[in-house]
Amino acid sequence: MKPLTAVPFLCVVLLAACLDHPEPVALSLDADRDAASTDEDLSSLDAEPDTTASPDTPSGDASDAPTDAAPDTTPAPTDVTPETVDPCAALVPGYVAIGVQEGEEVLPQTKLHLFVTGFPVHCIAAYRWELDQPIGSQSLLMPSSSASNPTVEVNVAGTYTLRVELFGHDGRRLAFPTTQVFANPAAGIHIELLWTTPGDPDPNDIRGADLDLHFALGGARGDYDGDGDGQFDPWYDIPFDTYWYNHAPDWGSLDAGIDDNPSLDRDDTDGIGPENLNLRLPEDGKTYHVGVHYWRDQVLGPSYATVRIYIHGNLVFEQSDVELREFDFWWVTDLTWPPQADSLPTASRTCQGTTDPCTTDADCTTTCTLRITPNYHHPFFPSAP
């Protein structure tokens, strides 16, 4: 029998397919090629990626390229300018402090020289100084409160608090440090006279009420009985009354190395005081008198005086806001050295309208008042009113 060929067999297969699937069937005339393509596409899913250089890769022998070279970490070039760091902005305010050239404890009448540490000067655009001072003191920061290195004179005993507000060039506050200075009167006896004059519109100008502090040794004789008690007053005795005309008398030892003489260290003639007197080494068994004379009022009216007495830096006497009129003489108090707890100075008083000494109103048929003599005109000064 004649053998079957491939073509008739294929027709049989196609006929059977057509009977089962009436829709058109796509037929590849090259079945072997299609099968090979399919196998090749499936096998590519598991193949490793092709690392062959792309057509754009520069030509060259791959064997010439280094195999162990380190990666290039050079930053890409940029046109952005780095932000400038402000060195003043990084400063720590906690390191800023006020410096005082003379130290934190000084004698009254010391001029303090102030400065700021902890910030470079070029970082500070403005200063705003503040000063708190003892009652009665009216010292000023010079040349002004906005100076970078001002000065101030501490003329009254006590604590002075200094602050400064610092501002940068951008207007922000940099720091606000503070410090304290104690004006400590080291003398055995230190006396202060301060006053206010309500009629004075500007206490810091050169025109003001003139009050004078007096400090007389017991037994001094001024050859003038201004208060009318029948005895010469100690005031204006040369050399035993210390005041503006006799500001540094010689009372004690002839040895210049012994500081046993009083001195009026400050005579204020134009407004508010203070006037300061010091006796470093008082003499045992001696009595000292303290007085205040209203020398001129400059047509400004009454003033209100305050006297403070310190013994070895301790305040033992204070009489405040005593009203005085021009030419009044106020006999403030007496002090015996060395002072004891039961003999500290107290205000001198007399019964009103008399020269009788008193302590309280019970000692008088009138009021017990401070010992003030009006119209006190000592003849030692011919030009005095």
Q: pLDDT tens-digit profile of 181-223?
A: 999 998 999 999 999 999 998 877 778 899 999 999 999 999 9
Residue 11 has pLDDT above 60, yes or no: no
| CATH number given to 189-373 | 2.60.60
- H helix intervals, 30-189: 31-43
Average pLDDT over residues 122-134: 95
Contact 203, 210 (CB under 8 A): no
Residue 303 — pLDDT band, cuts 50, 70, 90?
very high
Residue 55 — pLDDT band, cuts 50, 70, 90?
very low
The segment(s) of the chain belonging to CATH 2.60.60 are 189-373
Q: Residue 95 has what pLDDT?
A: 81
Query: What are residue 117's phi and psi, to 5 degrees?
Result: -120, 155
Q: pLDDT tens-digit profile of 281-294?
A: 999 999 999 999 99
The pTM assigned to this predicted structure is 0.72
Q: Residue 262 has what pLDDT?
A: 93
DSSP 362: G
Task: Name 276's Cβ contacts closer than 8 Å, sequence gap at least 6.
Answer: 108, 109, 155, 190, 191, 192, 193, 264, 265, 266
CATH of 93-183 among 1.20.1340.10, 1.10.510.10, 2.60.40.1080, 3.40.50.150 = 2.60.40.1080
The segment(s) of the chain belonging to CATH 2.60.40.1080 are 93-183
Q: Within 13 Å of residue 167, how many CA atoms lie on the same side as its CB?
A: 11
